[in-house]
Structure 1
Amino acid sequence: MTRMDMPPGLLGKLKKLPQLSKMSESFPKPVSSGPVTKVVQKNPTFDGLPILKTWVGDAGRFITLGLVATRHPETGVRNLGVYRMQIVDGQHVIMHWQKHKRGAQHSEISKAKGERIPAAIIIGGEPSTVFSGIAPVPEGLDKYLFSGIVRKKGISTVRCKTIDLEVPANAEIVLEGYVDPADLRDEGPFGDHTGYYTPVEQYPTFTLTGAMHRENPVYLTTVVGKPILEDAYVGKVIERSFLPLIQMFHPEVVDFAMPAAGWFQGMAIISIKKSYPGQAKKVMMGLWGTGQLALTKMFIVVDDDVDVQDINDVIWAITTRADPARDTTIINNTPTDTLDPASPLVNLGSKLGIDATQKTIQEGFTREVQEKVTVDDRTRGLVDSRWSTYGL
């Protein structure tokens, strides 16, 4: 659910009650215990976990699919984020949350108050919760609620034993502690999803204070490296799930694709039903101002007769409908993904927009638009009937 308009009048509001009731079923439900509370460790350590060192150049072992739970220090909205964590010793990891991520933003608010921020590392659990941790949901939406919306039933939560946070009761493992924004350590290098080793940078330290887990927990992890790897399939689910949200703000959008080879932040392709001049650039600018899409380096906009999931069709549109001087937009000094290996400065670079839509006379295209080669219905019918005759 991304939108529910409130109708005018008492009768209209009463008619919405069934929808509100369904929404309430998605809210998280606190419980006193759950599968993850079966075993509580008094002297927890990272040493017993099968944490991977994936690539020969990695600085050490990294947790690569832990959901990091934090709570906004002022609003109380809970967040789940996936940030890599380098093992330092049995009680400490380095928390690689980038400037643009909500966990880092929560930490900065706590730092301004002179406080450390409670955090929990959640390993494994229900697919909807793992998806919620990865998904770029709108600002202010509680990730636990989003998980319930995805699964159409609220998740159960339990309180941590050593910190003031709630965690999913059906998790496999929960590692409790706090992040000290003043305790910075060198993190990396690490083979990342861009296909390059990220350079050494300083990030804050997480200290382990407690742990609990199922009786026979499963350690959920993934391998990160040059695409296309496992994370590509999670990214495709996010792409499909968030198309309706994009269409809510930009109703002209027909489809949206983030090719896995572009590590998702590198490139996005958007098809639109064009109805006025300059509309492709309007969509680009709007999406560059929307949440995590602000970090996307390249946007390609095509007409609705182009299949954004077919890269050959997209290349055809670029080469037949875009003029480099007229249809290329470059914007300097914009936010970039911290992991982008090409940006001239960390977190700061440029954007590229390609308008590969068919230009109109209102956009200064004075030539006659050439007719596109297509198969006529009669020929299509003849071919289809022949294939059917031979059982193909």
Structure 2
Amino acid sequence: MTDQSMRGYLSQLATSGALHRVKRRTDPKFEIGAVLALKDRGPAILFEETGSLPVVGNLLVSRARFALGLNVEPDRLDDLCIRALSHPVKPVITGSGPVQEVVQSGDIDLKASLPVPTWFERETAPYITAGVIIAKDPETGRRNVSIARLRLEGGGRIMAGIAKNHHLNLLAEKAKALGKRLPIAVAIGNHPAVLLGSQLYLGLGDDEFDNIGGMLGEPLRLVKCKTVDLEVPAEAEIVLEGELYPDEQIEEGPVSEFHGFYVSYGAGMGGCIACITRRQDAIYQAVLPGYASEHCLLGGIAIGATLRQALQRMIPAVRRVLITEGGMGRLHAIISMHKPRLGEGKRAAMLAMGQVNLLKLVTVVDDDIDIENPREVEWALAARFRGHEDLMVVEGVKADRCDPVHEDLTVTKIAMIATTHPGDGEPLSRSEFVSAPRDVLARVAAELDQY
């Protein structure tokens, strides 16, 4: 069996020199967040002395780090996600797992048991940010796996900040209509595949654990919870078991979002944790929220993979989709296409905006452009974009509440089509890069270290 734990990935990081251990006492209130922010693009950081459990953060701050955790080359990361979507592998239930080595129930005090960071100055309490939440549809029994911020309210009490269109909220509303509460389990300290898989844009009723198995190339091993009818990753570090109270609203106040600003969404949903299970030597995982690399990439990589799959079904010329970090991992996309026909670039941009509500700036380029290289994308705009015919501006489009500049939940959406046009292939055209003969380039590239 392969290692399906976070700590196996930590070992990989340590071997490659990408894990830094902080041995001085570090306060979860603001100090841990400040360190993670100031070392955002650096090594993963393990805070060994926090007053309770160790805390680890900044694990997945680059596409290369995701690729390392998923055991693929960086240029194959998107392909792995697509394979996971098209070739799911159902999980298996095991009798036991290290996440249940310690069981704590009864009088739960989350602040005393876990080193949950308080992140930003105007936020009013600590937030769990890397908790993968498992719930089931109270009508169908189908599983849902996602991440939502959870604020500690004292004792075992929590508040869940969930968008209205979030599947978890829809399940809570179903439970409310049935006069019930919604059982949840929150897994903290997960393999990178579990974190990334929880962010895939799937349909309500699709089980993200199936696609996580597709990423792993084997079934994800689960254990049954102790107090709720749910299953959780057997090799996670910590699991919280409890319920959401759909009829209980708790005012949240200012909270950070992926764009790096404070927002006020109004009331969140109340809930309570009644049981904690964990490893004997558990490590608490935290994801720095706001405009931070790991937060942006977790959403961006998952959105890009599901969007690419959707677009390729409609337009086979689509090759890749990148949701950019500069666009906060949510708002900006770059689409590469192979010899698009006249009008196909605009069609791809419109379909992308329709598929992902958050997108508001889409750039389309040819597949000779490396879409992960901003210099090449800007070159395509300079060399191939004709403003009078390749710019699309659509005003008054429904937006997500997260968009930092929405007005009455609408925004203006823009697309720029920076591709060669059919007929641009004649000599001295913009469709052909200058270069030495291909055979000479290939030979020199293979022997480059000898020059």
Query: TM-score of the superposition, structure 2-length normalised?
Result: 0.72
Match of 1:374 among 415, 428, 433: 433
Higher-Rg member (1/2): 1
Letter in 2 for 1:297: K
2:117 matched residue in structure 1:
52
1:321 matched residue in structure 2:
384
1:297 matched residue in structure 2:
360
5+ unaligned residues in a row in structure 2: which ranges?
1-82
How much has 1:108 moved relative to structure 2?
2.1
SS state of the match for residue 130, structure 1? helix
SS state of the match for residue 254, structure 1? strand
Letter in 1 for 2:295: D
| Counterparts of 1:122 and 1:388, CA distance in 2 | 48
Q: Is the 8 A contact 1:259 1:268 kept in 2?
A: yes
Cα shift readout 1:104-156 (whole Å, capped 9, x = no counterpart): 12122222333221111111133322222233345543112112111111122
1:109 matched residue in structure 2:
174
Q: Is the 8 A contact 1:296 1:337 kept in 2?
A: no
Q: In structure 2, do the counterparts of structure 1 residues 145 and 306 end up closer, same or farther at CA, with 3 Å as the change threshold?
A: same
Deviates more, 1:97-106 or 1:264-273: 97-106
| Counterparts of 2:386 and 2:330, CA distance in 1 | 25
1:224-373 residue pairs with structure 2 within 5 A? 224-227=289-292, 229-235=293-299, 237-238=301-302, 241-242=305-306, 245-246=309-310, 247-290=312-355, 293-346=356-409, 348-360=410-422, 371-372=429-430
Q: In structure 2, do the counterparts of structure 1 residues 141 and 383 end up closer, same or farther at CA, with 3 Å as the change threshold?
A: closer
Letter in 2 for 1:87: L
Match of 1:39 among 102, 107, 127: 102
Q: Is the 8 A contact 1:266 1:297 kept in 2?
A: yes
| Counterparts of 1:82 and 1:306, CA distance in 2 | 33
Matched, 1:211 2:211: no
1:14 matched residue in structure 2:
none
SS state of the match for residue 107, structure 1? helix
Q: In structure 2, do the counterparts of structure 1 residues 383 and 345 end up closer, same or farther at CA, with 3 Å as the change threshold?
A: same
Q: In structure 2, do the counterparts of structure 1 residues 385 and 322 end up closer, same or farther at CA, with 3 Å as the change threshold?
A: closer
Q: Is the 8 A contact 2:152 2:159 kept in 1?
A: yes
Cα shift readout 1:255-311 (whole Å, capped 9, x = no counterpart): 221221211111000011244321112112222333xx2321211112223221221
Q: Is the 8 A contact 2:397 2:411 kept in 1?
A: yes
1:159-198 residue pairs with structure 2 within 5 A? 159-198=224-263
Deviates more, 1:97-106 or 1:231-240: 231-240
Q: How many residues align?
A: 364
Matched, 1:391 2:450: yes
5+ unaligned residues in a row in structure 1: which ranges?
5-18
How much has 1:343 moved relative to structure 2?
0.9
1:118 matched residue in structure 2:
183
Letter in 2 for 1:147: I
| Counterparts of 1:180 and 1:386, CA distance in 2 | 61
Q: Is the 8 A contact 2:307 2:352 kept in 1?
A: no
Match of 2:164 among 99, 104, 108: 99
Deviates more, 1:192-201 or 1:133-142: 133-142
Letter in 2 for 1:371: S
Query: TM-score of the superposition, structure 1-length normalised?
Result: 0.82
Match of 2:93 among 17, 30, 44: 30
